[in-house]
Amino acid sequence: MDAPSSLTPDVLGAPEGIANPYPAYRAFRGPNPVRYLRLPAGPLTGRTEPLYAWALMRHADVLAAIRDPATFSSQTPQVLKTIPKLALLHDDPPHHTHLRRLVSKVFSPQRIASLSDWISRIAFELLDSMGKGSAEFMSAYAVPLPMRVIATMLGVPDQDYPSFKLWSEAVVSYAGMPAEERARKTQEMMAYLGQAIAERRKQPREDLISALTVADVEGAALSDAEIRSFVAVLLIAGNETTTNLIGNMMAILADRPELWRQAREDRSRVEPIIEEVLRYESPVQRLPRVTTRPVRIGDVDIREGELVDIVYGAANRDPAVFEDPDTFRPERPTNHQHLGFGLGTHYCLGAPLARLEARITLSAFLDRFATLERGVEPGVRQRAAQVSFGYKALPLVLG
């Protein structure tokens, strides 16, 4: 498909392309990767030169890339230079494999399932506070639920949740926040985590930070810097992804009253709805990689050391895999092929937790509210974090 004359690939890195990337996906998804302006130079990004990236948008190309971490490395901070190195997220095998083993038991499906009653209690508390009628869903529910869950698992006190939300936004919004402010907030987060780690070393508790202080990788204990990085990525991934999943899900259903009614009558629809949300409006739209060798994709030769974006959101609407991809269809037979949580080495560690929180949320709202509608004011999409697709504000009416 040819791109409209008013649309260029650079929209993929622009605020309007972050808020609604799907027109660009339709226009530029083809047999070849697309080169676009990932980050401009200037005080906002802290870069002295613009940074370009290749976008992989076909399902087959995305799948091939994430199955080949030896060629498409996750060690991207060396190229981006705008974000701190985060454990797991920016590690490759074999080190990534060893790090992942440290927390895999904590995030196992069995362990996560055991948290169901506790997460349900948090959900019910938030629902009680919302009541019926008009509500700004993101601040009332979609932000606090995942934040409370992951922060409690890590051992972060309730009063510190707001700070962590601001800090996590600073890390992911590296295209929409001045570089100096982003650096200051990141330093604040790392200083806070350093103090928490020192306290756990003196007096361990029953939380994940304490577990990391006594863990070892390949026979060696983790350093404070490694633990800080580990906790930061768990906290950021644990709330940003799930917040966007829950927000996108409720907005989609608010526009589909018949589907809401059907789901209230038949709860077997809950899980297919969640999986279709993950495909249709993927909370994580893209993640960067850097090539470790020259590679040819389609008719394009990509050099070693180039930035490549794995665009999950585009792959999840590839008509080669998903018929009529721009229609929301929970009964779609190919839904299991979506890449909403990635695949392979970097498959989202928190996928079972995110699915559980979404399932508890949807079930609780279906139990309590006969109707779900959009509010008078339109929802506001975030326009700063290229990684994410979600709402800053989502007014809803619950009846």
- The string of DSSP codes covering 194-214 is HHHHHHHHHS--SSHHHHHHT
Position 141 scores a pLDDT of 97
Mean pLDDT of 360-388: 96
Read off the pLDDT band of 98 (50, 70, 90). Answer: confident
Closest by Cα among 68, 72, 56 to 315: 56
Q: What is the pLDDT of residues 226-237, one digit of tens each?
A: 888 888 888 777
| Mean pLDDT estimate for the chain | 90
Q: Of 150, 185, 148, 383, whose CA–CA distance to 285 is shortest? A: 383
Q: At what angle do helices 270-280 and 351-368 cross, to 10 degrees?
A: 120
Neighbours of 329 (CB within 10 A): 16
Q: State yes or no: pLDDT of 119 exceeds 60.
A: yes
Q: Which residues contact 243 (CB under 8 A, 6 or more apart)?
A: 138, 142, 143, 145, 146, 147, 283, 390
How far is it, in rounded angstroms, from Cα 121 to Cα 226? 33
Q: Report how many domains make up the chain.
A: 1
* Residue position matching structure tokens 């349900």: 120
Query: Looking at the domain assignment, is residue 3 inside a domain?
Result: no
**Has residue 28 been placed in a domain?**
yes
Residue 342 within any structural domain of the chain: yes
Confirm if 345 and 59 have CB atoms less than 8 A apart.
Answer: no
Average pLDDT over residues 285-295: 97
CATH number at residue 274: 1.10.630.10
Provide the pLDDT for residue 179: 73
Q: What Rg value do the Cα atoms of the chain yield, rounded? A: 21
Amino acid at 254: A
pLDDT of 3 strictly over 60 = no
Whether 370 has a pLDDT exceeding 90, the answer reads: yes
Whose tokens are 């018929």? That residue is 323
Residue 303 has pLDDT above 90, yes or no: yes
Neighbours of 237 (CB within 10 A): 23
pLDDT at 88: 81
Using an 8 Å Cβ cutoff, are 227 and 343 in contact?
Answer: no
What is the Cα–Cα distance from 225 to 344, expressed in whole angstroms? 26
CB 270 within 8 A of CB 363: yes
Between 366 and 86, the higher pLDDT residue: 366
> Given a cut of 50, is residue 143 above it in pLDDT?
yes
Note the pLDDT of residue 176.
Answer: 63
More confident residue, 207 or 262: 262
Residue 392 has pLDDT above 70, yes or no: yes
285 domain residue, yes or no: yes
Beta bridge partners of 136: 395
User: Does the pLDDT at position 295 exceed 70?
Assistant: yes
Residue 265 lies in a domain: yes
Q: Is the pLDDT of residue 65 over 80?
A: yes
Q: Which domain holds residue 277?
A: 9-398
DSSP 8-state secondary structure symbol assigned to residue 342: -
- How large a percentage of the chain has pLDDT more than 90? 63
Q: Is residue 320 part of a domain?
A: yes
- Which H or E run contains 381? strand 380-381
What pTM value is reported for the model? 0.92
Note whether residue 310 is domain-resident: yes
Backbone torsions φ then ψ of 378, nearest 5 degrees? -70, 155
Assigned domain for 2 exists: no
Q: Is the peptide bond before 94 cis (omega within 30 degrees of 0)?
A: yes
pLDDT of residue 2: 45
pLDDT in the model for residue 104: 77
Tokens of 269: 């629809």
Neighbours of 152 (CB within 10 A): 18
Q: Locate tokens 């932000």: which residue? A: 143
pLDDT reported for residue 1: 40
pLDDT tens digits, one per residue of 304-350? 999 999 999 999 999 999 999 999 999 999 999 999 999 988 888 88
In tens, the pLDDT along 147-180 reads: 999 888 888 888 887 787 788 777 776 656 777 7
